[in-house]
Amino acid sequence: MDAQAGIPAVAAESASPLRLRRVAIDTWRENVVYLHRDCAIYRAEGFQALSKVEVRANGRRILASLNVVDDGCIVQPDELGVSIDAFIQLGVDDGHPAMIAQAEPPSSIPALRRKIAGERLARDDFRAIVRDIAEHRYSKIELTAFVVATNQGELDREEVYFLTEAMTSVGHRIDWRERPVVDKHCIGGIPGNRTSMLVVPIVAAHGMLCPKTSSRAITSPAGTADTMEVLANVEPSFDRLSEIVREHRGCLAWGGTANLSPADDVLISVERPLSIDSPGQMVASILSKKVAAGSTHLVLDIPVGPSAKVRSMPEAQKLRKLFEFVAGRMNLTIDVVITDGRQPIGSGIGPVLEARDVMRVLENDPRAPNDLRQKALRLAGRMLEFDPDVRGGDGFAIARDILDSGRALAKMDAIIRAQGAHAFDHNAPPLARLNFEVCAEGDGVVVAIDNHQLARIARLAGAPKMQASGVDLLRKLGEPVEKGEPLYRIHADYPADLEFARQASARASGYALGVADEVPHLFVEF
């Protein structure tokens, strides 16, 4: 849906002309405009800081939050400053005339207030709220109120379905005109878990349609899109992306390219800083994007472990039932798999290190991390069994043959070239210039690895913004280690980043040593 769609016109007499000025401030998916305090329009219209305004230019409209400034270096009294994202949406040049007016208040606020009070909302309530969110009518305060209200008063399963349906309806929805259209998703929380970059070429090489759109990292050291960007362009136009998918049966692109769930993109901007990821919000976020992307069949990975998002099997089973209920209502076939989330997957944490691991698996390199290879094969096998011509239980062997034969590598190379290849040699990956090894403080066996702490250290080192930064794991669960031997290596491009990561590792390495019997055992479905 276009950014300006669904926004009602405001009376012309309430708007006034100003010259647009691009303000080079990244406001993270929030439209922000700037008026000088001495602007005649600011005084005449009675605008207030942080209020919502409507901006019109060249036939386009956006809603934005207003900031008031006193510095003429930012914006002059006869100018309207516009943040980067908002300026792109308007699609005009600096100096273009624009009109600004008070925005109409969100019509869904009464429903929001009822949710804050703990009431159960109906389908039309969620549609109204999500529409206002997607049209940027909600302030950050109102967005936060909605996220907190739906987290504290946990949504029932019908409400989760209503929210998912509403989020699907406000964005672009793709129809590939064939079945099955397959996808795979992990609920997150496990560093290095780049199975999607292996599953897609395996499944596409088999001939199944797998248009994979993925997220960038927000609070993690790398998302699938960040890691794929080491190898190729992840932001082709939607038309070009469609061509790639139809020609090569798959892609690995950033999800923002297709504008699949704009309301979710807005909600994430407050969910992640608050560390709120309630089951209902998680289900709605994931499934709305999959349905909008045209997927008919989904393999969902729920890792379980002491430092994973889901920490127990009963919790995982409950979440699985919620996913299955909502997916069924959305006519999406889903296979939920509970996997081992006790430690990071693979060796690398950070875009370049994770890309190295992926390419080594695809090339059947003996240095490839076996846990990443095995998990990818099992997930790909479950996806292949969506093919009506594949007998249940045969998927793993077919996936292994596609990988071992080199067909998966050939397919990945074709996708990379089609999206726009970036130079990368997994034998000599361009790692950050500085490094530091974290060593064992005594003898023992690795009995625990803290996913959160390792991810935090990798981010402090500069990942994902600095692609070559991150953490390279040298020991995994159950492996013996002697005092002074390295547990992992931190890579950073800047001395300050390396020092931040070093200090964090000194406070808590993320590793616990003990005896072999102390390694936690976990039942998983593979």
Please state, in angstroms and as integers, the Cα–Cα distance from residue 190 to each residue in 16, 104, 295, 456, following that order.
51, 42, 24, 12
**What span, in angstroms and rounded, lies between the C-alpha atoms of 419 and 413?**
10
| Number of CB atoms found within 10 A of residue 342's CB | 22
* Rounded Cα distance, 412 and 484, in Å: 40
Do residues 454 and 488 lie in contact, with contact meaning Cβ atoms separated by under 8 Å?
yes
| Residue 496 to residue 492: CA distance in whole angstroms | 9
Among the listed residues 153, 154, 155, 152, the one whose alpha carbon sits nearest the alpha carbon of residue 165: 155
> In this structure, are residues 29 and 266 in contact, taking their beta carbons and an 8 Å threshold?
yes
Backbone angles phi, psi at 440, to 5 degrees: -70, 140
Burial 508-525 (b: 16+ CB within 10 A, else e): ebbbebeeeeebeebebe
List CB contacts of 163: < 8 A, sequence separation 6 or more.
126, 130, 150, 155, 280, 281, 284
Catalytic residue status for 277: yes
Cα gap 297→183, rounded to integer Å: 6
Give the DSSP letter of residue 155.
P
Distance of CA 9 to the CA centre of its chain: 33
- Residue 215 DSSP one-character state: P
**Token output for 490:** 């931190």
**Token pair 């400053």: residue:** 81
Residue at 23: amino acid letter:
V
**Beta-bridge partners for 301:** 186, 337
Q: Are 7 and 54 in contact (CB under 8 A)?
A: yes
CA 396 to chain CA mean position, Å? 27
- In this structure, what token pair is assigned to residue 211? 């248009």
Alpha-carbon gap, residue 492 to 484, rounded angstroms: 22
User: What string of H, E and C letters represents the secondary structure of 401-442?
Assistant: HHHHCCHHHHHHHHHHHHHCECCCCCCCCCCCCEEEEEECCC
Instruction: Report d(CA 501, CA 509) in Å as an integer.
Output: 10
Both structure tokens of 163: 């929210």
- Catalytic residue among 277, 394, 413, 493, which? 277
C-alpha angle 21/24/29, rounded to 5°? 105
**Interatomic CA distance for residues 102 and 354, integer angstroms:** 47
The DSSP element (H or E) to which 34 belongs, if any, is strand 32-36
Contact indicator for 250, 209 with CB cutoff of 8 Å: yes
Catalytically active residues are: 277
